[in-house]
Chain A
Amino acid sequence: MPETTMDGETLHLHGYTDAASVVQVPTRNGFGEGLIEAGKKNKNVMAICADLAESTRMEGFKKACPDQYLEIGVAEQMLVAMAGGLASAGKIPWIASYAMFNPGRSWEQVRTIMALNETNVKIAGAHAGVSVGPDGATHQAVEDIAIMRVIPHMTVVVPCDSIQTKKATLALSEMFGPVYLRFAREKSAIVTTDDTPFQIGKAQTFREGKDVAIVACGILVYNALMAAEELAKDGIDARVVNNHTVKPMDTAAIVASAKHCGAIVTVEEHQVHAGMGSRVAEIVAANHPVPIEFVGVQDRFGQSGDPVELIEHYGMGTTAIVAAAKKAIARKR
């Protein structure tokens, strides 16, 4: 495939258009790998686990860096508060649970102890989105971006694949400040390679286009790319932006897409209310108003089912993105 470039930087993307060559790896694996590397690089990096070592992929760290690992049981508020104490004495604690419980259950501790208190605590929110699948609505966090992006000082990152999740884990370990890294349970398509650059706060144009900009985050970036391929068949030239940093969002990239394409579709595995797309809308409304369509969960709760089935049911599949793109284009003046 042709190399996509961004500001003169080559993106080195993995081929994704040929379904047979697509490699599927859960984003959580990238977190596990990144955590081990961060822990080996810096002995102050710690992992604190709330009884979910295997599913959050902290297990590898536990074996690789046993002296930097703590297990505290099913206590998500404790997770945040204890990490705050460790961080204020110089540690760099990663705390992991399902996104539904941390930051879901621990939100006030996150706000007070991590953000207002400005501590260097890193939250890994695992099993985010409806793609958790059979566990059902209680375990499907589709509000976590909203509750995290609203907190001052917080950095919020939602990487597009396993490789990028690893890079994000390393980069977030090295920056000072409270962060939220969101990833998913199920296998998802690899669209980047080890050589693809990653910088917190810098959106990436994965596909150039002029008719509509599809701005996506997380594992749905793949669906956005596939939607662009579909749109091309109808002669529609769609740009795809991997908007991995929800906060601080790359305002310049969003405004540039609004100006260049004149219509935007946002795509996220999250409530459309107050998520990544809402932030895009805030930026666009303030700088260069254009029509926006929002792909995501439409003010509903999830339910049990297969991941793919649920993504389709809640309107986040390729077909839904294609339809949203056409609608956004039709609304152009």
Chain B
Amino acid sequence: MSLSQEGLTALRVKANDVRQGIIRALESAGSGHSAGSLDMADIFTALYGSAMRHDPKRPDWADRDRLLLSCGHIAPVRYSAMANFGYFPVEELLTLRKFGTRLQGHPERVTLPSVETTSGPLGEGLAQGVGMAMAAKLDAKDWRVYVVTSDAEHQCGLHWEAMMTAGKFKLDNLTCIIDRNFIQIDGSTEDIMPLEPLGDKYRSFNWEVFECDGHDIGAFLDTVEKCKAVRGKPQVIVANTIPGKGVSYMEGDYTWHGKPPNKEQAETALRELTADRERILANA
């Protein structure tokens, strides 16, 4: 189902809110991962705002779609999206990484059950998603599993075990979304351990492969609909993203992978994002 123009505009505004929440949370925490969090804001907004079956008032709803964040270090985007879609108050974002918070530096299911699993050690999300998708199949349930992974996580062996297993069991209720931003802590993914041709690798593991602009909410939602129509194969969406998207001085700069903005940098970022927000509304 395609969204109306108004619906799309509302989601773009929401994505902007999510980004502002990320900046505020990271600045308050004084540590954390900026680039990947910002570049997945559009996709998390699209998932929570349209693609997924979920209910913020019933996070333990048995028939909800499951969203797993494999690259747990970009938890700020998930937390901000959850807050902006009603799971908890937006102010709680300011507790990120602080003592006693539910918003742990890397997400924990026991403290915040709706994150579906505890993540942070890389390469483990898809494998758990395979288990969940398998459980849905065994119980003839129609909920779906979405797993968000980073591109650099594909350097972990377990991820390939999961790809192979998903192919074997033809888990068509499983969609993997890759944050293809080409960066990791030490630099470019293609310098450190080349992943290309990434789509072909999935194809050879019997997956259906899609590619889209990770910042085009409409295109992403259309791709998710195509995924839902696939039968007999798991699907992957290679979402091309720009690290730090939305904050000019962070965009494309890998050094923002693992650090937060300081107070002045956060103010600049929020000013830019507020201007963006006005542009989105003016162009609607």
Contact = CB atoms under 8 A, between A and B. Distances in A.
Given A113-B117, A116-B118, A81 B128 contact: yes
Interface in B74-123: 108-110, 116-121
Given A85-B129, A88-B109, 16 more contacts: A67-B138, A70-B134, A72-B165, A72-B168, A75-B161, A83-B131, A85-B117, A85-B128, A86-B132, A86-B134, A88-B117, A89-B135, A109-B121, A116-B108, A117-B108, A117-B118
Contacts of A89: 66, 131-132, 135-136, 139
Most buried by A among B108, B119, B165: B165
A109 B158 contact: yes
25 contacts: A73-B164, A73-B165, A75-B165, A77-B158, A78-B158, A81-B124, A82-B128, A82-B130, A82-B134, A84-B128, A84-B131, A85-B127, A85-B128, A87-B131, A88-B109, A88-B117, A88-B128, A88-B131, A91-B138, A108-B121, A109-B121, A109-B124, A109-B158, A113-B117, A117-B110
Interface in A98-145: 108-109, 112-113, 116-118
Contacts of A112: 118-121, 124
Contacts of A93: 131
Contact of B127 (A67, A82, A87, A91): A82
A73 B164 CA distance: 10
Contacts of B23: none
Nearest to B136: A89
A90 interface: yes
B157 interface: yes
Interface in B126-166: 127-136, 138-139, 157-158, 161-162, 164-165
Secondary structure class of chain A's binding surface, majority of residues? helix
A81 B158 contact: yes
A78 B162 contact: yes
With most chain B CB atoms within 10 A of its CB, the pick from A81, A84, A93 is A81
Contacts, number: 96
A42 to B, nearest CB: 14
B131 A85 contact: yes
Given A88-B132, A91-B135, A116-B108, A82 B121 contact: no
Interface of B: 66, 108-110, 116-121, 124, 127-136, 138-139, 157-158, 161-162, 164-165, 168-169
Is the interface on chain A under 10, 10 to 19, 20 to 34, or 35 or more residues?
Answer: 20 to 34
Nearest to B116: A88
A86 B130 CA distance: 8
Nearest to B166: A82
Contacts of B162: 78, 81-82
B110 A118 contact: yes
A313 to B, nearest CB: 36
Contact of A85 (B118, B120, B134): B134
Query: 5 nearest interchain CB pairs?
Result: A85-B131, A81-B127, A89-B135, A78-B161, A85-B128
B97 to A, nearest CB: 17
A78 B134 contact: no
A93 B66 CA distance: 19
A86 B118 CA distance: 14
B217 to A, nearest CB: 28
Contacts of A88: 109, 116-117, 128, 131-132
A45 B130 CA distance: 18
B129 A78 contact: no
Contacts of B134: 70, 82, 85-86
B165 A82 contact: yes
Contacts of A85: 117, 127-135
B165 A78 contact: yes
Nearest to A74: B161
A90 B135 contact: yes
B62 to A, nearest CB: 8
Contacts of A116: 108, 110, 118
Contacts of B127: 77-78, 81-82, 84-85
B121 A84 contact: no
A93 B165 CA distance: 16
A118 B128 contact: no
B6 to A, nearest CB: 36
B173 to A, nearest CB: 12
Q: Which of B118, B128, B136, B157 is packed against the most chain A CB atoms within 10 Å? A: B128
A53 B218 CA distance: 48
B124 A117 contact: no
A113 B118 contact: yes
